[in-house]
């Protein structure tokens, strides 16, 4: 066991454990807070994968914005502050079965793939992946078009969200 592997296993336990809490806990604000724990674990994974920029973007976007939005939405959409009774619908059994089958199927397909247990090459010294990423996002030969389309999508979503959520004052 190398330190990397120990960190990975702790992180995986955090992610899977808190993800299970997200989908099973009765209190929805708690579910949103468990989502924060999951997302934080994923950010650590990005750090392990040497994608520090993505790890920080994950924290800014998901924990700073999306999770807080979720907590707001949970509070704004109910009469009582406490959730009572079951939070799952009547076909949760089939859902659980389907989820297990998905996991089994994915694991089966992946394990029969040749590259399944490949290991990573060390990033060559002197490669600045952050610089590469930045250049790729704005270079016309690379991903400037998808990047711009994503920004237009965000703008449209912003306008749409404001329009939908504004209560009409007749």
Partner 1 sequence: MSIPLSWYLILSAALFSIGLFGVLARKNAVAILLGIELMLNAVNINLVAFWRYGSGSIAGQVFAIIVFAVAAAEVAVGLALIISVYRRRTTVIADELDLLKW
Partner 2 sequence: MTFWNDPINYIADWLRGVFMGWGITAGPANVITALIGIVVIILFALAIAIALVWVERKVVARFQDRLGPNRIGPFGLFQPFADIVKLIIKEDITPAGADKVVFNMAPVISLASVILIWAIVPLASKIYGADINVGVLYLVAVGSFGTLSVIMAGWASNNKYALIGAFRMVATMISYEIPMVVALMIPTIIAGTMSVKGITQAQSNLWFVFLSPLGLLLFIISAIAELGRSPFDLNEAESEIVAGFHIEYTGMKFGLFYAGELLHAFTFGGFMAVLFFGGYGGFFGLEKLSAFAWLSNPFIELVVFLLKALIGYWVIMWVKYSMPRIRIDHMLTFNWKFLTPLAFVLLMMTALFDKLLAPTQFYVPGMFLSNILLAWIVIEILRKYSKRERIEQEKPAEPVIQAAHH
- For partner 1, which residue of 112, 125, 167, 170 counts as binding (CB under 8 A)? 167
Looking at 5-13, 57-65, 86-94, 141-149, which segment touches partner 2 (CB under 8 A)?
57-65
Among residues 74, 99, 71, 98, which one has the least CA distance to residue 87?
Answer: 74
**Helix (H/G/I), strand (E/B), else coil: 51:** coil
Among positions 39-98, residues that touch partner 1 (CB under 8 A) are: 39, 42, 45-46, 48-51, 53-54, 57-58, 61-62, 65-66, 69-70, 72-74, 76-79, 86-89, 91-92, 94-96, 98
Rounded to whole angstroms, the Cα distance separating 35 from 13 reads 14
Q: Does residue 10 interact with partner 1 by CB under 8 A? A: no
Q: Does residue 15 interact with partner 2 by CB under 8 A? A: no
Q: Which is nearer to partner 2, 50 or 95 (CB)?
A: 50
> What character string, x for contact with partner 2 (CB under 8 A) and - otherwise, covers 117-136?
-----------x-x------
Match 């994608």 to its residue by tokens: 51
Q: Does residue 14 interact with partner 1 by CB under 8 A? A: no
Tell me which DSSP letter residue 77 carries.
T
Residue 103 sits at the vertex; the CA angle it makes with 99 and 105, to the nearest 5 degrees, is 115
**Per-residue CA distances from 90 to 25, 74, 86, 130 (Å):** 16, 22, 10, 48
Residues 6+ away with beta carbon under 8 Å from 51: 129
Q: How far is the CB of 82 from partner 1 (least distance, A)?
A: 13
Q: How far is the CB of 58 from partner 2 (least distance, A)?
A: 8
């Amino acid at each position: 066991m190398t330190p990397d592997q120990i960190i990975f296993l702790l992180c995986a336990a955090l992610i899977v454990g808190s993800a299970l809490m997200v989908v099973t806990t009765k209190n929805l604000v708690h579910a949103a807070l468990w989502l924060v724990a999951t997302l934080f674990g994923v950010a650590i994974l990005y750090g392990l994968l040497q994608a520090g920029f993505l790890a920080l973007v994950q924290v800014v976007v998901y924990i700073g914005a999306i999770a807080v939005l979720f907590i707001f939405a949970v509070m704004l959409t109910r009469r009582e502050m406490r959730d009572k009774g079951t939070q799952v619908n009547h076909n949760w059994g089939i859902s659980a079965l389907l989820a297990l089958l998905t996991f089994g199927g994915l694991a089966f397909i992946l394990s029969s793939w040749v590259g399944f247990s490949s290991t990573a090459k060390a990033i060559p010294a002197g490669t600045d992946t952050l610089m590469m990423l930045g250049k790729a996002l704005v270079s016309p030969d690379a991903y400037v078009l998808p990047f711009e389309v994503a920004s237009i999508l965000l703008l449209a979503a912003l306008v749409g969200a404001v329009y939908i959520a504004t209560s009409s004052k007749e």
